[in-house]
Structure 1
Amino acid sequence: MVDVTATPGSSLRHQAAESTEPTPLPTSLRGRLALLGPGLVLAAASVGAGDMVTSLAGAAGYGMALLWAILIGVVLKFALTEAVGRLYMASGQTVIASLRSAGRWLPVAFFVFVLVIGLLYGAALSSVASLALTTLFPALPLRPVAIGIALASAAIVYVGRYAVFERVMSVFMLAKFLGMVVLAVATLATADDLPGLLSSARPRLPEGDLVTVLALIGGVGGTAGIASYSYWVREKGWRDRSRLPVMRADSAVSYTLTFLFVLCTTVVGTGLLHGSGRTITGNEGLAALADPLGADLGSVARVLFLGTFFLVTLSALVGGFNALCYLLADSLRTMRGVPDDAAEPHIAQYSRPFRAFLLYVAAAAVAVTFLGRPVRLVLTYAAVGSLILPLLSGALLVLLNRRGVQRPFRNKAASNVLLAGSFVLFGVLAVVQLKETIGGL
């Protein structure tokens, strides 16, 4: 096999790995389910408060009529994630090392992008998690709690090897998923007009509100988490061709859970907000939703909603810290010219670069929380984050269509269509975000 990134050491290493007998897969369903993991990490890391705000805001205006847009977003993000995992299994290289062969400037661009994201990521999400917690317990001080959450999240990433990290993230995913399912069932069970609520699911395209549709499509799932999926696949040990179906099933489970979570959120939003005149504007509006939800469904539902809101944000913070540190450490390694066959000691969770960048994102979270979040920095953070997915989807189109890629790993027609659609859609969203950023400066 010709290595897609043309790094001799890594190519030989991966060929040697392929020449050995693949580990047999478990035959029982329980054994096969036990193999899954990176997808649960991705689902826990990618479904954040932004997904809740976007889906609830869409439900307030259109009920469940825009679920088709959410489904399109899930399919596109799945195609990106599956391609990232397939690229690693095809080349045996990390995602940044592979992207370097598509453009030598790409690792530098990713390093700058992720460095900017890391500057504000911890402060933004820990503040949102603190908002949920202090709404539940009003006596708690907002800013110190936010700092404590950021430091605790960094500690979880610091002390845990991947196996521990995966278990923690799986628990987060299960807890917040069950919380939202219970709220959705309670909403359906207590709805005054259940047929009317269900009838709002009839698909339609809102006139003059294309931005809302695009935001729903692009807002489902994560960005840095998708780029980091290959690191979690590598930690899992999925290297040979026999693990390709497992990786695809794993990423499919991730986005199935993501879609079901957003579906439940949309049901709750439709029952509580649609036709009521109430709207959701930002995370503060999300926290304020707890009181009317408690009035409609009871105090237990209020506590459950705020607890789920807190877990959603906390899991995104822990997973995001992990993903950002992998990307930063790998980008630095690639820019320094460290061979990819020596990549593992340089980007593993116990490595000095990984932990140095973990200290950076944690310290930035504390500092920015103390200083507040200047509007320009927040706008820059949002604009920079919007550029990752079009760059990634474009690079995957190039890398996975090369002749040197073995046929099982090469893009099929469906993959090319979905990746091309991702490139166009996320490129348009990036342009919209950049225009908003320039207008806000």
Structure 2
Amino acid sequence: MTPVTPRCTEVVDVTATPAPGSPPQPRTDRPLGTAPAPTARRGPLAVLGPGLVLAATSVGAGDMVTSLAGAAGYGMALLWAILIGVVVKYALTEAVGRLYMATGRTVIAGLGSVGRWLPVAFFGFVLVIGLIYGAALSSVAALALSTLFPVLPVRPSAVAIALVSAAIVYVGRYTLFERVMSVFMLAKFLGMVVLAVVTLATTDDPTGLFSSLRPRLPEGDMVTVLALIGGVGGTAGIASYSYWVREKGWRDRSRLRVMRADSAVSYAVTFLFVLCTTVVGAGLLFGTGRTITGNEGLAALADPLGADLGSVARVLFLGTFFLVTLSALVGGFNALCYLLSDSLRTMRGVPDAEAEPHMAQHSRPFRLFLLYCVVAALAVTFLGRPVPLVLTYAAVGSLILPLLSGALLVLLNRRGVEPVYRNKITGNVLLSGSFVLFGVLAVVQLKETIGGA
């Protein structure tokens, strides 16, 4: 990675020759090649972006399934669990961005400084995820599309969706990629907000709906609670946040507040999206005996939703479902290729100062790994997603977040880290909680995998 200390500094002194009658302007020193700090007139929100990419990538069909399933059984009583999940995932994401700004190194390079075996393990984990990720999400997106347009066959549609998603990642530099992902995020967010508003406006028992907001802890169903907490947001997207921060040019402490605001906006949008999904689920499913089981159940919800809210709501739901999965696929391809190329660079011992040719979106390793993800997606789609591969994918994916949480606890408490970047008490508590929570979820997932093998 590029060192934190700039090689040259551009000094702009606008106080030397001020315009007649104008007040003196401040002196501005910043490294060449970095974007200027946000001005007071525009505000920090004008430069946000990686957080929206993360939200578009992380909010997928899994979030819709878990939130709708929770709402079917408990109404809105488990929103507290979703809120905890958002806070924990925000702490992880902020720590990933802070680590890059503190050291100029990505999270994979940081893992290598904790243990030389960690980048190798991470590389293996992500290889397995990349093997089935494209096939799983393109099949889900095709399911939503074929439900909306029954004339479209699922398998050829899945192939086309995987190819289009890979093409978006291949041709776009980061700026274009960020714009596309922001549009995806805005579209699916607005779609779910409209559905939530329509649900509230047409429900027969609004008092009962809002009374279900009372927090509760389900007896004998802690797995559902843990799944809600851990299921909000993504996995690969969190680990990849530092790459998007790097592409944005946030490399020093002057951007620390902007990075924190950016990641906070990401999880605020995520929480609002899941809140709207919970409202829809509570209004349509709570107390009816109907439930959601997997992505097929999610697609099947479209018909009763249309019967209750009208055909326009059915189309809007399926369109939102499709965009949710498509944006997760595009963002996931991008994130996986960054993680794979950076892991390979770290294993080969390429210095951080020479990272750009080895892990940028236009680099050969990035594009070769993109080809790997696409070919794997097509192969697994035609093979019909064999069960053992799916179980392996789920088990391996569950190990990433506890590994990431533990590494961040070590890396951001080192004495060599400047105090402004070092973990404070709150950060250590949240990262420790994240390590325990995702460790428990990993054990549960591994037990289910072994039991289902």
TM-score range relative to shorter protein: over 0.9
1:27 pairs with 2:27: no
State whether residues 389 and 426 of structure 1, in contact with CA within 8 Å, keep that contact through their aligned partners in structure 2: yes
Per-residue CA shift, 1:387-425, capped at 9, x if unaligned? 000000000000000000001100000000000000000
Instruction: Specify the SS of the correspondent of 2:417.
Output: coil
Q: Aligned in 2, Cα 1:18/1:105: closer, same or farther, shift over 3 Å? A: farther
Instruction: Specify the SS of the correspondent of 2:131.
Output: helix
State whether residues 79 and 213 of structure 2, in contact with CA within 8 Å, keep that contact through their aligned partners in structure 1: yes
Instruction: Give the counterpart letter for 2:182 in structure 1.
Output: S
Instruction: Give the counterpart letter for 2:393 in structure 1.
Output: Y
State whether residues 41 and 166 of structure 1, in contact with CA within 8 Å, keep that contact through their aligned partners in structure 2: yes
- 1:399 is matched with 411
By how many angstroms is 1:14 displaced? 1.4
1:359 pairs with 2:349: no
State whether residues 17 and 240 of structure 1, in contact with CA within 8 Å, keep that contact through their aligned partners in structure 2: no
- 2:223 is matched with 211
Match of 1:114 among 120, 123, 126: 126
- 1:16 is matched with 6
By how many angstroms is 1:340 displaced? 1.0
Q: CA RMSD in A?
A: 1.1
By how many angstroms is 1:18 displaced? 10
By how many angstroms is 1:31 displaced? 4.6
Instruction: Give the counterpart letter for 1:179 in structure 2.
Output: G
Per-residue CA shift, 1:218-254, capped at 9, x if unaligned? 0000000000000000000000110000000000000
State whether residues 38 and 46 of structure 2, in contact with CA within 8 Å, keep that contact through their aligned partners in structure 1: no
Counterpart CA distance in 2 for 1:400 and 1:154 is: 34
Counterpart CA distance in 2 for 1:293 and 1:429 is: 32
Instruction: Give the counterpart letter for 2:427 in structure 1.
Output: S
By how many angstroms is 1:99 displaced? 1.3
- 1:318 is matched with 330
By how many angstroms is 1:19 displaced? 7.3
Q: Aligned in 2, Cα 1:19/1:104: closer, same or farther, shift over 3 Å? A: farther
By how many angstroms is 1:15 displaced? 2.2
Instruction: Give the counterpart letter for 1:320 in structure 2.
Output: G
Counterpart CA distance in 2 for 1:191 and 1:182 is: 14
Q: Aligned in 2, Cα 1:17/1:264: closer, same or farther, shift over 3 Å? A: farther
By how many angstroms is 1:87 displaced? 0.0
State whether residues 14 and 92 of structure 1, in contact with CA within 8 Å, keep that contact through their aligned partners in structure 2: yes
Instruction: Give the counterpart letter for 2:72 in structure 1.
Output: A
- 1:202 is matched with 214
Counterpart CA distance in 1 for 2:43 and 2:322 is: 32
Counterpart CA distance in 2 for 1:56 and 1:82 is: 28
- 2:20 is matched with none
By how many angstroms is 1:33 displaced? 1.8
Counterpart CA distance in 1 for 2:106 and 2:410 is: 16
Match of 2:198 among 186, 192, 217: 186
Determine which structure has more spread, i.e. the larger CA radius of gyration: 2
By how many angstroms is 1:17 displaced? 6.3
1:336 pairs with 2:326: no
Instruction: Specify the SS of the correspondent of 1:15.
Output: coil
Instruction: Specify the SS of the correspondent of 2:6.
Output: helix
- 1:271 is matched with 283
Q: What does 1:84-233 correspond to in 2, within 5 Å?
A: 84-233=96-245
- 2:249 is matched with 237
TM-score in terms of structure 1 length = 0.96
Counterpart CA distance in 2 for 1:202 and 1:102 is: 44
Counterpart CA distance in 1 for 2:76 and 2:222 is: 16
By how many angstroms is 1:272 displaced? 0.2
State whether residues 94 and 259 of structure 2, in contact with CA within 8 Å, keep that contact through their aligned partners in structure 1: yes
State whether residues 18 and 240 of structure 1, in contact with CA within 8 Å, keep that contact through their aligned partners in structure 2: no
Per-residue CA shift, 1:18-76, capped at 9, x if unaligned? 97733432112x45222000000000000000000000000000000000000000000
Instruction: Specify the SS of the correspondent of 1:14.
Output: coil
Instruction: Give the counterpart letter for 2:217 in structure 1.
Output: L
Counterpart CA distance in 2 for 1:230 and 1:413 is: 22
Counterpart CA distance in 2 for 1:261 and 1:409 is: 30
Instruction: Specify the SS of the correspondent of 2:38.
Output: coil
- 1:431 is matched with 443
Q: Aligned in 2, Cα 1:395/1:17: closer, same or farther, shift over 3 Å? A: farther
Counterpart CA distance in 1 for 2:380 and 2:120 is: 24
Instruction: Specify the SS of the correspondent of 1:280.
Output: coil
By how many angstroms is 1:95 displaced? 1.5
Per-residue CA shift, 1:65-108, capped at 9, x if unaligned? 00000000000000000000000000001221111111111100
Instruction: Specify the SS of the correspondent of 2:4.
Output: helix
Instruction: Give the counterpart letter for 1:45 in structure 2.
Output: T
Instruction: Give the counterpart letter for 1:141 in structure 2.
Output: P
In structure 1, list runs of 5 or more residues that go unmatched.
1-9
- 1:6 is matched with none
Larger relative helix fraction: 1
Q: Aligned in 2, Cα 1:18/1:266: closer, same or farther, shift over 3 Å? A: farther
By how many angstroms is 1:16 displaced? 2.9
Counterpart CA distance in 2 for 1:344 and 1:38 is: 18
Counterpart CA distance in 1 for 2:200 and 2:171 is: 42
Counterpart CA distance in 1 for 2:408 and 2:362 is: 29
Instruction: Give the counterpart letter for 1:383 in structure 2.
Output: A
**Structure 1 runs (4+) greater than 4 angstroms displaced:** 17-20
Instruction: Give the counterpart letter for 2:109 in structure 1.
Output: A
Q: What does 1:407-426 correspond to in 2, within 5 Å?
A: 407-426=419-438
TM-score in terms of structure 2 length = 0.94
Match of 2:386 among 359, 374, 378: 374
Instruction: Specify the SS of the correspondent of 2:63.
Output: helix
